């Protein structure tokens, strides 16, 4: 009886370990190159400018995300803007990103700026150097560096919208990438790069502007992000899980460049005024977010796991 019980326990353990290996370890071992972000591939996209609504699980709108593609010579740049309102400690946030790819479609540089945190500058600057992708992170007066492994950093994304464009997908494809969540610091969490494995798990048909469209389904592990991408590489819908906000749905909608410009001007102007002691913010209101930001960056880049080596 005890022997059968022992055998059963061992079999259950082996089964659990096998499932863990298949789900988490094997995809990382077999991860391939990221989708080719070359000028030729991105030129095939129907939408070179995109706008997406950001809503919570209940359908309440929290903000808007915009992106656009531009080319100069053989290089390609993807610029992104994420505008959020009414979340936790900080009423308005603006995240601006710029990702540059060389003629071969390899990640060349990455810039990120966060506006809206009172009296605090948040910047991330990264540029490829050989097998590493060193990033300098500034939060207020603090400057730290994270050396990301280039092989695991072929693509970078922000936590609100991990993917911008994903051309030339196929079912079964997988790749490693880095996701950064700078906004979580303002909400009481940490600011860090997280290495994830993205996999094309299959195809689904979704409704897009009143018509069905077949999409590739891309999922990440860890992180539980999910994206629906058409054959050309346009990302029509994303689903992400964020600390303090829960599940967010990011879905395509008509592009409005004027709305993007208004959001950028309004938040940037407010950020500049905040740096000169804005009238609406008291010292007590400002102190808490700044202290959270300082503690987060010190803990994460001073010794925590941030997907690279200091």
Largest CA distance in the chain: 76
Query: Please, are residues 191 and 60 in contact by the beta-carbon 8 Å criterion?
Result: no
Q: How far apart are CA 264 and CA 84, in angstroms?
A: 11
Q: Which pLDDT tens digits describe the chain residue by residue (310 residues)?
A: 545 444 444 444 433 333 333 334 334 434 467 787 887 887 777 678 999 999 998 999 999 999 999 888 888 999 999 999 867 666 788 999 999 998 888 889 999 998 988 778 888 899 998 888 898 888 888 888 888 877 777 788 877 778 889 998 999 999 988 888 756 555 544 456 788 899 999 999 999 888 999 999 999 988 789 999 999 899 999 999 877 778 999 999 999 999 999 999 988 876 666 554 443 443 344 445 445 444 444 443 333 444 444 4
Q: How far apart are CA 159 and CA 156, in angstroms?
A: 10
- Which pLDDT value is given to residue 45? 74
Provide CB contacts within 8 A for 98, sequence distance 6+.
77, 78, 79, 80, 109, 110, 111, 112
Query: Please, are residues 165 and 235 in contact by the beta-carbon 8 Å criterion?
Result: yes
- Which pLDDT value is given to residue 164? 84
- Which pLDDT value is given to residue 300? 37
- Which pLDDT value is given to residue 6? 47
Give how far the C-alpha of residue 182 lies from the chain's centroid of Cα atoms, to the nearest Å.
9
DSSP 240-253: EEETTTEEEEEEEE
Distances (CA, A) of 310 to 155, 190, 196, 204, 252: 20, 17, 19, 41, 37
- Which pLDDT value is given to residue 64? 96
Which H or E run contains 126?
Answer: strand 122-127
Query: Please, are residues 195 and 202 in contact by the beta-carbon 8 Å criterion?
Result: no
Q: How far apart are CA 62 and CA 51, in angstroms?
A: 14
Predicted TM-score (pTM) of this structure: 0.75
| The length of the chain, given as a count of residues | 310
Which H or E run contains 307?
Answer: none
Query: Please, are residues 116 and 92 in contact by the beta-carbon 8 Å criterion?
Result: yes
What one-character DSSP code corresponds to residue 34?
Answer: P
């Amino acid at each position: 009886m005890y022997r059968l019980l022992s055998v059963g326990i061992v079999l259950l353990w082996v089964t659990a370990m096998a499932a863990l290996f298949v789900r988490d370890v094997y995809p990382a071992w077999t991860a391939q190159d990221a989708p080719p972000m070359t000028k030729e591939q991105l030129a095939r996209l129907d939408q070179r400018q995109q706008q997406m609504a950001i809503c919570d699980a209940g359908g309440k709108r929290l903000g808007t995300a915009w992106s656009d593609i531009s080319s100069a010579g053989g290089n390609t740049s993807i610029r992104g803007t994420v505008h959020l309102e009414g979340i936790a400690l900080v009423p308005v946030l603006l995240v601006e990103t710029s990702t540059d790819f060389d003629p071969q479609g390899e990640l060349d540089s990455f810039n990120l700026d966060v506006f809206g945190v009172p009296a605090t500058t948040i910047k991330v600057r990264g540029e490829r150097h050989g097998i590493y992708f060193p990033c300098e992170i500034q939060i207020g007066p603090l400057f730290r560096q994270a050396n990301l492994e280039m092989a695991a950093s072929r693509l970078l994304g922000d936590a609100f919208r991990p993917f911008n464009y994903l051309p030339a997908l196929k079912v079964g494809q997988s790749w490693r990438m880095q996701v950064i969540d700078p906004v979580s610091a303002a909400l009481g969490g940490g600011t860090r790069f997280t290495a994830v494995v993205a996999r094309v798990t299959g195809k689904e048909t979704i409704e897009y502007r009143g018509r069905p469209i077949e999409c590739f389904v891309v999922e990440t592990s860890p992180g539980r992000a999910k994206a629906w991408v058409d054959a050309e590489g346009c990302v029509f819908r994303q689903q992400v899980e964020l600390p303090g906000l829960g599940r967010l749905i990011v879905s395509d909608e008509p592009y409005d460049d004027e709305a993007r410009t208004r959001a950028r001007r309004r938040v940037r102007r407010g950020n500049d005024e905040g740096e000169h002691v804005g009238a609406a913010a008291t010292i007590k209101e400002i102190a808490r977010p700044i202290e959270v930001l300082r503690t987060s960056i010190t803990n994460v880049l001073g010794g925590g796991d941030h997907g690279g080596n200091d």
